[in-house]
Amino acid sequence: MTRKVRTRIAPSPTGFLHLGTARTALFSWAYARHFGGEFVLRIEDTDVARSTQDSVDQILASMNWLGLGYDEGPIYQMQRLERYNTVIAQMLAAGTAYHCYCTPQELDEMREAQRARGEKTHYDGRWRPAPGKVLPVAPEGVPPVVRFCNPPDGEVTWNDLVKGPITISNREIDDLIIVRPDGVPTYNFCVVVDDWDMNISHVFRGDEHVNNTPWQINIFNALGAPLPLFGHVPVILGDDGQKLSKRRGAVSVTAYEEAGYLPEAMLNYLARLGWSHGDEELFSREQLVQWFDGEHLSKSPAQWDPAKLNWVNANYIKVIDEVRLTQLVEAQLVRRGIEAGKGDRLQRLCALFKDRCATTVELADWIGMYFVDVHASAEDLTAHLTDAVRPALKTLCGKLDAVEWTRAAIGVAIKETLAAHSLKMPQLAQAARVLVCGRAQTPSLDAVLELFSRETVLLRLQRA
Ligand code: GLU
């Protein structure tokens, strides 16, 4: 019987939701949706010293922004301590786990001696019970840890959904600590109990966890729990070829929201990092769900490519609903202290400039000139405000003062000015742009001018 597909994302709330975790969440979500399964959000907060509510809030906000809806959760590990303790007690009773009273100093000495003998360092099993073995006497005042009785021989093998078959010898791994001296269980144990209790069928996670999987499989087996399938997704590398990290670029999801990216573009771009469907680069959320069946996941690291992300975002900016685009740009303007006012002007501005913008921040950069005064650079002024153009600008001012304020009428005023002064369009248009817009390149001048007030255009042109 095939299992119902249940996937999960299990971030630790010790920082923001970074891009790697967001991508794993996306894969897990898409996989569950593709197979009509369920997706669970679990917060792995057993590192009490480093876990914060702020981080939980950020994780939830990022998932929400990306539209990665979960069917269960958030489930907090710290609220499950009782369950972990029950399982630990069962394992101690069954002999699949045991108390170990080694002090840190003793463990140091053990490793030192192993090194001196040229051996690989490992826990030597001195507290591990065995038939006929006499254990040391438990020392006073030393809080024990609980260790897992890892099988001493044999191999752990799994067919990784991403990497293919992987085999690790049990001789390579020692008896893992599953409860710390303070009584809090450790990651590799909690994750197994959780994935078991939550009936997780497929575990997608970053490949930094590959080394943990043999332990987890052994613990699943010790508990008699059904194994999920594992898929370890390679890291994302920055454009410098190094692993993305907090110190390398903005790697939180929320930073991209602030930087003017659309969630659907981010989702699209993240999905292509380490996964492909033919040559498709732009696809909808629905298409992703339809296509994402766990095949075509790349074994090699993906490269973060800011230029490609911009390209994807620019494509979405061109096609999204203009009312929504306007709201997003309005929010960016508000951040700059600009109040766009009522009416449809902002929407018309967005429509005029959106084709040349990769982000809503870039759109706000363009549109800012309609609300705050701008000044061209000295180079632009010298290059475009020539003696040949100045009289024409005066003529243009006179005409613009009198015309009906529509794009068509402004266009006629510009053409008449060109004819009267025997100038070519670029000469006059670039000079006018430099004065009114503070830059020499813009969309069609009549369209750009129409969306200013007549007063502003005349005021800025008169600075010639
Ligand atoms: N809390 C772990 C992490 O954030 C989860 C690993 C897993 O998915 O098993 O890396």
* pLDDT tens, the chain, 464 aa long: 588 999 999 999 998 888 999 999 999 999 999 999 999 999 999 988 999 999 999 999 999 999 999 999 999 999 999 999 999 999 999 999 999 999 999 999 999 999 999 999 999 999 999 999 999 999 998 899 999 999 999 999 999 999 999 999 999 999 999 999 999 999 999 999 999 999 999 999 999 999 999 999 999 999 999 999 999 999 899 878 888 766 665 578 889 999 999 999 999 999 999 999 999 999 999 999 999 999 999 999 999 999 999 999 999 999 999 999 999 999 999 999 999 988 899 999 999 999 999 999 999 999 999 999 999 999 999 999 999 999 999 999 999 999 999 999 999 999 999 999 999 999 999 999 999 999 999 999 999 999 999 999 999 999 98
Cα torsion 61, 63, 65, 70 to 10°: value is: -110
Q: Name the token pair of 165.
A: 């078959």
The DSSP code for 266 is H
Predicted pLDDT at 323: 97
Task: Give ranges for CATH 3.40.50.620 in the chain.
Answer: 6-74+187-235
Burial 376-398, CB ≥16 within 10 A → b, else e:
beeebbeebbeeebeebbebbbe
User: In terms of Cα–Cα distance, which of 381, 362, 383, 398 is closest to 436?
Assistant: 381
- Span from the CA of 7 to the centroid of ligand 1 (angstroms): 13
Secondary structure (DSSP) of 333-375: HHHTT----SSSHHHHHHHHHGGG-SSHHHHHHHHGGGTS---
Is 10 touching ligand 1 by the criterion CB < 6 Å?
yes
- Span from the CA of 14 to the centroid of ligand 1 (angstroms): 12
Task: Give ranges for CATH 1.10.1160.10 in the chain.
Answer: 253-368
Pick from 187, 236, 251 the residue to mutate for probing ligand 1's pocket: most ligand atoms within 8 Å of its CB.
187
Strand residue runs (E) in 207-349: 229-233, 236-237, 302-303
CATH annotation of 82-179? 3.90.800.10
Task: Give ranges for CATH 3.90.800.10 in the chain.
Answer: 82-179
Is 191 touching ligand 1 by the criterion CB < 6 Å?
yes
- Span from the CA of 11 to the centroid of ligand 1 (angstroms): 6
Ligand 1 atom closest to residue 195's alpha carbon, by position in its atom list: 9
Q: How far apart are CA 322 and CA 252, in angstroms?
A: 27
CATH annotation of 253-368? 1.10.1160.10
Task: Give ranges for CATH 1.10.10.350 in the chain.
Answer: 378-461
- Span from the CA of 37 to the centroid of ligand 1 (angstroms): 20
97 strand-pairing partners: 148
Ligand 1 atom closest to residue 21's alpha carbon, by position in its atom list: 4
Protein residue closest via CA to atom 4 of ligand 1: 11
β-bridge pairing 177-179 and 202-206: unpaired
Ligand 1 atom closest to residue 24's alpha carbon, by position in its atom list: 8
Pick from 18, 19, 191, 195 the residue to mutate for probing ligand 1's pocket: most ligand atoms within 8 Å of its CB.
191
Predicted pLDDT at 248: 64
Contact in structure between 186 and 177 (CB atoms under 8 Å): yes
Annotated catalytic residue, options 4, 133, 243, 246:
246
Predicted pLDDT at 16: 87
414 strand-pairing partners: none
- Span from the CA of 350 to the centroid of ligand 1 (angstroms): 41
Model pTM score? 0.93
Contact in structure between 384 and 440 (CB atoms under 8 Å): yes
Integer-rounded Cα radius of gyration of the chain = 32
Predicted pLDDT at 132: 93
Known catalytic membership, residue 246: yes
Integer distance in angstroms from the first to the last C-alpha of the chain?
Answer: 80
Q: How far apart are CA 413 and CA 397, in angstroms?
A: 9
**81-94 and 213-223 helices, crossing angle to 10°:** 70
User: Can you tell me which residue has the tokens 């669970």?
Assistant: 40
Ligand 1 atom closest to residue 11's alpha carbon, by position in its atom list: 4
Q: How far apart are CA 271 and CA 131, in angstroms?
A: 52
CATH of 378-461, one of 3.50.50.60, 1.10.10.350, 3.30.300.170, 3.40.50.360: 1.10.10.350
Is 12 touching ligand 1 by the criterion CB < 6 Å?
yes
Ligand 1 atom closest to residue 9's alpha carbon, by position in its atom list: 8
Residues in the chain: 464
Is 44 touching ligand 1 by the criterion CB < 6 Å?
yes
Is 9 touching ligand 1 by the criterion CB < 6 Å?
no
- Span from the CA of 76 to the centroid of ligand 1 (angstroms): 13
Query: Which overall architecture, per CATH, does domain 6-74+187-235 show?
Result: 3-Layer(aba) Sandwich (3.40)
